[in-house]
Amino acid sequence: MIIRSKAPLRIGLAGGGSDVAPYSEIYGGAILNATVTMYAYATIKPTNESKIVFHATDKEERYEYKSDKKLPIDGKLDLFKGIYNRIIEDYKLEPLSFELSTFVDAPPGSGLGTSSTLVTAVLGAFVEWLKLPLGEYDIARLSYKIERIDLDMAGGKQDQYAATFGGVNFMEFSTDDKVIVNPLRIKPLILNELAFNLVLFNTETSRFSSQIIEAQRQNVINKNKNSIEAMHNIKNQALMMKEALLRGQLDRMGDLLNDGWHHKKQMASNITTPLLEKIYQTALNAGASGGKISGAGGGGFMFFYCPNNSRNSVIKALEQFGGQAKRYEFTQIGLTSWTVS
């Protein structure tokens, strides 16, 4: 028997950062995101060998442990061990014996929510294998707890919910720690046009999102007026972006992205770099009307709205930076798991 799962990565169209505490706990947050046809995959093969094998094939990391009720958190694929430890503890299970292998279509630090999506995919495989009584909100919430609380990894809440639910979603994060996922019914014509006009560019750089998120957190804690005002504007943009998308006003989204980029840079000093600024301006000079860095900032993927058939000219102009435009489509399907007998 083999158990498999996959969960989609996401593009954060607007509101990114307003889901990060303490901002979300004080002011509430709002985010518009959409999942794309890039995935985190997980495969579990149960064994009778009284051992646990973790294999991140894309990172070429492999570790083996004796089956136990709790595995050490020691910097070696801790995401996997955090999931295992939480499941064993919550459901009072005896030690399991299995091989877990994973693969993600984007590298760590890409800004597409890779680590959270991977947690969701692995958790989904365990839910399928052990028949755990968890619905979509349960899986997303537990993924968040494992990553942010159990493992104390910095970040927000949107990625786990995007990976679990899939599709285009307007998410609300209340001050009392509730999350509401509002799926948006977007006509295929509009989504196809948006995917065509929105160029996803891999800058071939990576960043430590935790450092950026910590700077953002400190700005809120220290009541940095400019930073907090920027976060308010970013949150309001999620509302405006949602309206533009629902009305099919795609070209307006480019202008909103451009405004959002300037606000986002005020949230923390390390969100942008001279290279990212040069890439952004080059895209605008080639015909893009707006764009943003995906995720916390500092590197990874950027995306640009390219109206008036300017897509190819923007891609051509960006070739000088050595990165690559990534082909994708939007997907409405979230976490999926299945068993092969």
Asked if residue 20 lies in contact with residue 159, where contact means CB atoms within 8 angstroms, the answer is no
* Other Cβ atoms closer than 10 A to 316: 11
Q: Which runs of consecutive H residues, i.e. helices, occur in 64-197? A: 78-90, 114-130, 136-144, 158-165, 188-197
Which listed residue (19, 78, 105, 159) is catalytic?
Answer: 159
Q: Is the peptide bond before 22 cis (omega within 30 degrees of 0)?
A: yes
Q: Cα–Cα distances in Å, from 167 out to 33, 103, 158, 220, 309?
A: 8, 21, 13, 31, 25
* Burial label, 75 (beta-carbon count in 10 A; 0-12, 13-18, 19+): exposed
Q: Give the number of C-alpha atoms closer than 13 A to the C-alpha of residue 280, restricted to the C-beta side.
A: 23
Beta bridge partners of 46: 98
Q: Which uninterrupted H or E stretch holds 112?
A: none
191-194 long-range contacts, CB within 8 A, separation 24+: 191/330, 192/329, 193/250, 194/245, 194/250, 194/253, 194/330
Q: Which uninterrupted H or E stretch holds 145?
A: none
* Burial label, 19 (beta-carbon count in 10 A; 0-12, 13-18, 19+): buried
- Residue 152 annotated as catalytic: no
* Other Cβ atoms closer than 10 A to 268: 24
Q: How many residues does the chain have?
A: 341
Non-local (6+) Cβ contacts of 328 within 8 A are 36, 37, 38, 195, 200
* Other Cβ atoms closer than 10 A to 34: 24
Q: Cite the active site residues.
A: 159
